[in-house]
Amino acid sequence: MATSATPNGAVPINTTSASGSFTGKVQHIKIASAYDTAIFNGDFVKLVTAGTVEKDAGTTTLTPIGIFLGCKYTDPNSSQLTFNQTWPADTSASDAAAYVLVDPNVLFKMQSDETVAQAALGANAAVVQTAGSTSIGNSKNAFDGSTVATTNTLPVKVVDFVDGPTSSVGDTYTDVIVKFNVGHQLTNTTGI
């Protein structure tokens, strides 16, 4: 039973695309040198006009290009190529690049910040944005259980629930499986 709040952001688990794997759906997108916001594994990210990626901090609306899975950069202190699941804010590195799962049809698991009932299946919801864990590098973003509604502008849609030994429908912190509802930059007809 999910009785502890342990959100990990958006954890990719599958896709509704024709190909069931993530092969070819992870793209390297530049991060601006000295970008001043930390990005954690499982955070939503968006393209900005500079042609780089930044954390998408939206809650009731998102405009993501995808889910951040890690990054690479030359560490300014050691001069070594570094692979990290977190972008350390303010890192000066001209070669910084994010690994982003850009599939607009990705299915991902999120923990809710409260109980979610079976009636939420097919509904839409917002997300809760929280600073990630610097000790393990994961996002702490969560599904906002209090916003479950039919509202077509909410960013994620419930497609299933995690039903197993660690979570089930109606638990205090229900694990839900969601997909992007609206706003994904690859399906939006408006450019960046």
pTM of the model: 0.93
Bridge partners, 139 (sequence order):
none
For 120, the 3-state DSSP assignment is helix
Start-to-end C-alpha separation, the chain: 42
Closest CA to 157 of 185, 141, 181, 176: 181
Closest CA to 124 of 164, 183, 84: 183
Token reading at 190: 């408006």
Could you identify the residue written with the tokens 């300014």?
Answer: 76
Token reading at 29: 């997108």
Q: Which residues contact 157 (CB under 8 A, 6 or more apart)?
A: 122, 123, 124, 125, 178, 179, 180, 181
Residue 175: band (very low, low, confident or very high) from pLDDT cuts 50, 70, 90: very high
d(CA 176, CA 49) in angstroms, rounded, equals: 33
Per-residue pLDDT tens over the stretch 122-149? 999 999 999 999 999 999 999 999 999 9
Per-residue pLDDT tens over the stretch 59-105? 999 999 999 999 999 999 999 999 999 999 999 999 999 999 999 99
Strands 44-47 and 66-74: antiparallel
Count, residues in the chain = 192
Q: Sign of the C-alpha dihedral, residues 84, 26, 102, 164?
A: negative
Per-residue pLDDT tens over the stretch 3-47? 677 889 999 998 887 666 666 799 999 999 999 999 999 999 999
Q: Is the pLDDT of residue 163 over 90?
A: no
pLDDT for the residue 168: 82
Q: Sign of the C-alpha dihedral, residues 82, 87, 91, 96?
A: positive
| 33, amino acid identity | S
Could you identify the residue written with the tokens 């024709």?
Answer: 18
